[in-house]
Homo-oligomer: A and B are copies of this chain.
């Protein structure tokens, strides 16, 4: 549905590269006639499905999946004061049903706290009902006035995973926060995307939360992309919505809550972090096609090769590998280009010489070539896919490390922020943060930085010189 006739912009021009690869690799079509709403092409949607299957499998270990309505009555939506303030500028309102105005306006969920918690108040009666851990994958809506961009800043977030848990105590909810952060780590490791976790400053937390932990990736241009948040809600919402339980002593207590969200930005991270000048580089965990087989037909042995390719495809399929054969009558270069653009992790070539030598020539998406015996092909292919995954993770880690800087003065920080993320020391006060942000045109993303790539040490505040702690500074998407 999208043409491949011209070359991609180089990845060093990241913004242009991203927009073009989204189109040419058939992830999304941006021509839908409303700003900020995009159409998933079948290939993009398959990538989306594999990614969310991975996420669901992780969540299903201790959550159950559910589904709540999209429409939230104004009366519920307006109950939590901080929450309203955080969202009032960006909520879409349904005001009419057919030709008649509605009695109560309905919000399109920007997030589902106010849809879910009135039901939690009905469902939770006693400590035996706790913990309650549910999630849903839904479309949510934000009336974005800024520049929109597929998968990154949208008006319809088509694939928002939101988990909502209730616990007996603040500490138990806090353990859940840690657990969800661990899930994020596992999820992004499976996607080969290195992440940095930090605690957002108090003024940047989720409206109605005690605190917010955020997960950031670093894109090739050095800008950060928030690709997950875990909020400790304390009892803000349980007090507003009356989520109480009878404890073991027969007393009524308010539940302590967390929520946790991952949107299709996780796919933007996969695309952005792993690509190259040829197009997508997909981890095998989520690639719609993991292996493409290319019959190399020279001379008269065409039928023989096609039969061998068919056998191989069948064998790999039976082993659970997502494999396609490209037997189209076109020059190999154009085929390679097509599958590289779509990020297919492994290409297997089979020609007359391979047939004679009982071997397969395998080339992974990073260009690493391996010749393996035809016997036990599925096993070898699986091993090569695992190795390819390790290689793209390593490549992404190298990239992240090379874009992580430190700075001790605002000038140094400003200079290094061009294409990088910077770790500074900060005393913790809002004034210093505001000043730093103003001087460097950046955001103080967070403290309590957790990342194998960042030293979480102490030092003099970059602004006031008082004792400070490591803080992450970046320019964000």
Contact = CB atoms under 8 A, between A and B. Distances in A.
Given A1-B123, A134-B42, A34 B71 contact: yes
Contacts of A94: 92-95, 108
A97 B90 contact: yes
Contacts of A14: none
A367 to B, nearest CB: 30
Interface string A68-96: 11110101100000000000111111111
A419 interface: no
Contacts of A99: 88-89
Interface string A143-154: 101000000000
Interface string A118-146: 11001100000100001000010001010
Nearest to A89: B98
Contacts of A75: 33
B98 A95 contact: no
Given A31-B119, A73-B34, A156-B71, A91 B95 contact: no
A65 B90 contact: no
A97 to B, nearest CB: 3
Given A118-B33, A134-B42, A97 B88 contact: no
A33 B38 CA distance: 31
B39 A68 contact: yes
A64 interface: yes
B143 A69 contact: no
A365 B42 CA distance: 40
A49 B65 contact: yes
Contacts of A366: none
A29 interface: yes
A388 B66 CA distance: 28
Given A42-B64, A97-B143, 11 more contacts: A29-B123, A33-B75, A33-B76, A34-B71, A34-B106, A40-B67, A69-B156, A70-B156, A88-B98, A93-B95, A95-B96
Interface of A: 1, 29, 31-34, 37-42, 45-46, 48-49, 64-71, 73, 75-76, 88-99, 104, 106, 108, 115, 118-119, 122-123, 129, 134, 139, 143, 145, 155-156, 158
Closest 8 CB pairs of A and B: A97-B143, A42-B64, A37-B69, A40-B67, A93-B96, A89-B98, A95-B95, A1-B123
